């Protein structure tokens, strides 16, 4: 990617202290954007922001629990105070909790919907307001999943939440169009991050199979080549969408080694 492609843009990435969010924040910074590393893990956010600044980029670490309306609103106002604007939101923060549906604790269901659903809504609402009043418009990208299109056993809350992001993005595309606000859902297959590394032994225990069988016969079974999606694959797609002029708005994009081909 051209190092100046996103020069002058300000991007906020939630859940950017680890995994996919960190990789996307680093990719956006490499393309010239000033990047806000928003996470409830402030030590991790500071580590990522320091690394970006150390490499010559612009970054700010922000403590933000995406389920807290007060923290989200204060954090996004702080971004606008610090950098003068917000051009891109990547609503990425997420966790995974797996249970069979008949044993799924309601508290875990509510936690999943709060992080994935409320978090996407609250950050959208706060960023949208600034994008609209600035007259510059902006991009709102949701980190969906192949589970925005497919279902898997044990993942009722995750699949419900990730499907919901498709609907939210479509509404944002329609309401945002007059204000040059565009929306997208990025849908990765399995990427080896802490979130997935934690699932491998959990699923092995629940399904009564080995960890290598979970990888081969559960996680990667439906891909065309048995390969994990990489952090770079996802970062490249996010940077590409960050430059779209609006022709692709409202859509979702799989990056999954053929697991889902819609």
Binding residues (CB under 6 A) for ligand NAD: these are: 14-15, 17-21, 39-41, 44, 64-67, 92-95, 115, 143, 145, 188, 190-191, 193-196
- Beta carbon of residue 71, minimum distance to ligand NAD (angstroms, whole number): 8
Structure tokens at 201: 């032994």
Residue 209, C-beta contacts closer than 8 angstroms, at least 6 positions apart: 217, 218
- Beta carbon of residue 124, minimum distance to ligand NAD (angstroms, whole number): 14
Whats the size of the chain, residue-wise? 262
- What is d(CA 99, CA 115) in angstroms, rounded to the nearest whole number? 17
Quick one: 164 or 179, whose CB is closer to ligand NAD?
164
- Beta carbon of residue 179, minimum distance to ligand NAD (angstroms, whole number): 26
Under 8 Å between Cβ of 250 and 183? yes
Quick one: 177 or 195, whose CB is closer to ligand NAD?
195
Quick one: 46 or 92, whose CB is closer to ligand NAD?
92
Residue 224, C-beta contacts closer than 8 angstroms, at least 6 positions apart: 257, 258
Count Cβ atoms below 10 Å from residue 245 Cβ, excluding itself.
8
Is 142 strand, coil or helix? strand
CA triplet 261, 182, 74: central angle to 5 degrees?
115
**Of 128, 142, 158, 184, which residue is the catalytic one?**
158
- Beta carbon of residue 46, minimum distance to ligand NAD (angstroms, whole number): 12
158 noted as active-site residue? yes
Quick one: 109 or 137, whose CB is closer to ligand NAD?
109
- Beta carbon of residue 4, minimum distance to ligand NAD (angstroms, whole number): 27
Alpha helix positions (H), the chain: 19-30, 42-54, 69-83, 106-113, 119-134, 156-176, 194-207, 211-213, 231-241
Quick one: 9 or 116, whose CB is closer to ligand NAD?
116
Structure tokens at 246: 């609006």
Count Cβ atoms below 10 Å from residue 106 Cβ, excluding itself.
7
Catalytic residues: 158
């Amino acid at each position: 990617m051209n190092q100046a492609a996103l020069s002058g843009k300000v991007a906020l990435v939630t859940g950017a202290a680890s995994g996919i969010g960190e990789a996307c924040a680093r990719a956006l910074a490499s393309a010239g954007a000033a990047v806000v590393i928003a996470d409830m893990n402030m030590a991790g956010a500071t580590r990522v922001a320091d690394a970006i600044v150390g490499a010559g980029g612009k970054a700010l670490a922000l403590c933000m629990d995406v389920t807290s309306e007060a923290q989200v609103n204060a954090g996004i106002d702080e971004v606008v105070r610090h950098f003068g604007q917000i051009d891109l939101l990547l609503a990425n923060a997420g966790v995974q909790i797996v249970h069979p549906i008949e044993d799924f604790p309601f508290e875990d269901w509510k936690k999943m919907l709060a992080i994935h659903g409320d978090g996407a809504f609250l950050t959208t609402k706060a960023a949208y307001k600034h994008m609209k009043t600035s007259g510059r418009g902006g991009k709102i990208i949701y980190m969906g999943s192949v589970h925005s299109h497919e279902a898997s056993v044990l993942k009722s809350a995750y699949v419900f939440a990730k499907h919901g992001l498709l609907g939210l993005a479509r509404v944002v595309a329609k309401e945002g169009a007059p204000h040059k606000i565009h929306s997208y859902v990025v849908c990765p297959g399995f990427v080896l991050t802490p979130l997935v590394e934690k699932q491998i032994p959990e699923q092995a225990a629940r399904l009564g199979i080995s960890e290598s069988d979970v990888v081969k016969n559960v996680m990667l079974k439906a891909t065309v080549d048995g390969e994990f999606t990489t952090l770079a694959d996802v970062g490249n797609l996010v940077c590409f969408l960050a430059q779209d002029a609006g022709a692709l708005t409202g859509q979702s994009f799989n990056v999954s080694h053929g697991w889902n081909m819609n």
